[in-house]
Amino acid sequence: MTTPITLLFGVHAHQPVGNFPEVIEEAHLRCYSKFFEVLEDYPEFRFASHFSGWLLDVLAERYPKDMKRMAKMTRRGQVEWFGSGDCEPVLAAIPHRDRVTQINTLSDKLEKRFGQRPKGAWLTERVWESAVVASLAESGIEYVAVDDYHFICAGADPAKLDSFHTTEESGLKLDLFPISEAARYRLPFSPANETVAWLEDLARQGQRASIYFDDIEKFGIWPETYEWVYEKGWLTSFVEGVLASPLIRTGSFDEFHTANRTRGIVYLPTASYIEMNEWTLPGPAAREYHALLDDEKTAGRFERRKAFLRGGIWRNFFSRYPESNWMHKRMLTVSNRFHALPQSQQTDERRELLHRCQANDAYWHGLFGGLYLPHLRRAIWNNLLALEAELDRLAPRPVIERHDIDSDGAEEIFLRGHLLQAVVRVDGDAAVVEFDTYERTHNFGDTLRRYDEAYHDKLEKSGQKVIVHEGEGITSAHDRVAFLHEILPGDADIDTRPRGLFVESWTALDGTEHAVDTYQLPAVSAREGAVSFTAKVDGGTITKHIEVDGAHLAVKLRGKKLSGTLTTVINLAMPSCDGFLGRYVLSSGEIPGGFGDLLHLDQASQLTLEDGVLGGRLRLSTSLPARIIARPHRTVSQSEAGFEKVMQAVEISLSWPLLDGVEQSVLLEFEPLA
């Protein structure tokens, strides 16, 4: 007689900190609410659920009826709640002390709301490093779910990946459930009856359990899934098929964990899911890796060799994208300062700000990562700067400091005033890489370069035609090619210089253009809140003086023994982007357009950027009239919905004749809207 297989079915729900309310509402209506509404009618179908703490708080505030439904399903034993970091950090990327407080914060919320303290935990993006074992064990977590790919990379026997294994770190133990990749790719994309038949075949083969734990967004939010899962009834058919089968039973991870013995000891390598290993690689390396995978698949060797075809690791995003690395290292800095406070000053409110600026989404890029989305990066900076302002109030920092915070080999100089902070990188460009207003907790330097992404190759191969699945079932977002915007030649050209504030070039009288990227720092100015650089250019020099004074950031540029045109480019992250609340205002009061428009002024000495989302205006003024060209800076990226162009910043180019010894000053002043 065939022993029934246990279906350990789990779903993970998360929305990034700072995501748009309308996005969360749509996700709730098309997915979260619908999913639980369907399963409420089948109390015998038992499953696990993980919601990030931040999302759970938002849903509890806006949709209390659905929270009551979840609580009811929990009380009757249908739902097992999984914990994790409260604001969905990649645990491996934050300090141990913050892992523990993040995990305990969510566990406390679940216990208070649903009467169940989690024994299991979801690992964000299934990023595994052995360093997290101690943090999880210390927080009362007994088991986690990671991909079966992690086990295969450790040389585990695939036939034994139907139950949990045990690992340890310094004697602290943690059990690991291997998530089935085959199940991840079938649910919910294959027809329900075929998926049920597949599970029954596994039972006949003697498999103990089929372990599924993946994004709930596959059930309604991914392209094509709402119609497929709910309108065409996939979820109902699947649940009814499982419950009707004598070869399948559902269960909780907790009960299975209690009733079974471990498969044995295992030590996993640093890993995430297999797609992530490709996303972490820079363009050229990603192309080589993808070609290698294609060759192995074509030759029929991939499944046999995929354990040895590993790409990069999640932390590679910090080396791939300097913007991510800078944000991450700034987060670590405020974490250190927070934990240096006396316990009485480590309040829940301040800890919440720290937790929120550790949310994973804005630190990485792939099909689901949010580094390319300005509003997600902005949320990190909002919380980071709000906490930093609190810390400065308790323990003020010097008005000028010099460090290499991001370990890139170039120091940064922090210039601080009462209202503003500017950070200048001590390299050849001497650009301002961070420009903060504490009043609005906003970083005007929070932009992103155009990078070489391997998936840009699809733009030419597809001819911008939508490519989807043919036959029964629907297309997974991993395989779907679609376009949200028309992508034109040149839209994906990579940047060769940083996207900072005040990046200079000089054009000689013969039309030859020179990048001013040889700035040297003789010494930090003795004057507080200021720094000066000098660059040698074509037999002459250019001096650059940067100063923070009250509500002003002043940059003074002076050339000697040079004739031509000096241009400085200022990239400004404006929250309105190309929306209707962002606009340019001339000195006359005229409004020539929005931030998404091209603006060309031949001779001007003032331009105001008014931003309704920010609730403030940034006024740019020059001591001498300049030619001003403002345009939107956009990047091309790919998400589960398709290729899209995203506005990252306003790029303002200021040019004027370079007269020997004549100083040109540029002033940026922020003020709130009335």
Among residues 86, 88, 125, 388, the one annotated as catalytic is: 125
Count Cβ atoms within 10 A of the Cβ of residue 71 and give its class: 0-12 exposed, 13-18 middle, 19 or more buried.
middle
Q: How far is CA 467 from CA 186, 286, 571, in A?
A: 19, 21, 35
What are the helix (H) ranges across 177-233? 181-186, 192-204, 225-226
Q: Phi, psi at residue 514, to the nearest 5°?
A: -125, 130
Give the dihedral sign, CA 285/291/297/301: negative
Q: How far is CA 228 from CA 7, 238, 360, in A?
A: 22, 12, 30
Residues forming a β-bridge with 78: none
Is beta strand 616-639 parallel, antiparallel or unpaired with respect to 172-179? Answer: unpaired
Report how far apart the first and last C-alpha atoms of the chain are (Å, whole number).
77
What are the helix (H) ranges across 399-497? 457-462
Catalytic site residue 361? no
Nearest to 136 by CA among 110, 164, 161, 170: 170
- For residue 561, the tally of other CB atoms under 10 A from its CB is 11
What's the CA gap between 33 and 290, in Å, rounded?
A: 38
What's the CA gap between 365 and 370, in Å, rounded?
A: 6
Catalytic site residue 57? no
Count Cβ atoms within 10 A of the Cβ of residue 649 and give its class: 0-12 exposed, 13-18 middle, 19 or more buried.
buried
What are the helix (H) ranges across 421-531? 457-462
Q: Token pair for residue 612?
A: 């309704």
Residue pair 628/653 in contact (Cβ under 8 Å)? The answer is yes
Among residues 215, 408, 411, 651, the one annotated as catalytic is: 215
H/E element, 608? strand 599-611
Q: What DSSP string describes 358-406?
A: T-SGGG--SSS--TT-HHHHHHHHHHHHHHHHHHHHHSPPPSEEEE-TT
H/E element, 337? helix 322-339
H/E element, 326? helix 322-339
How many residues appear in the chain?
674
User: Which residues are the active-site residues?
Assistant: 125, 215
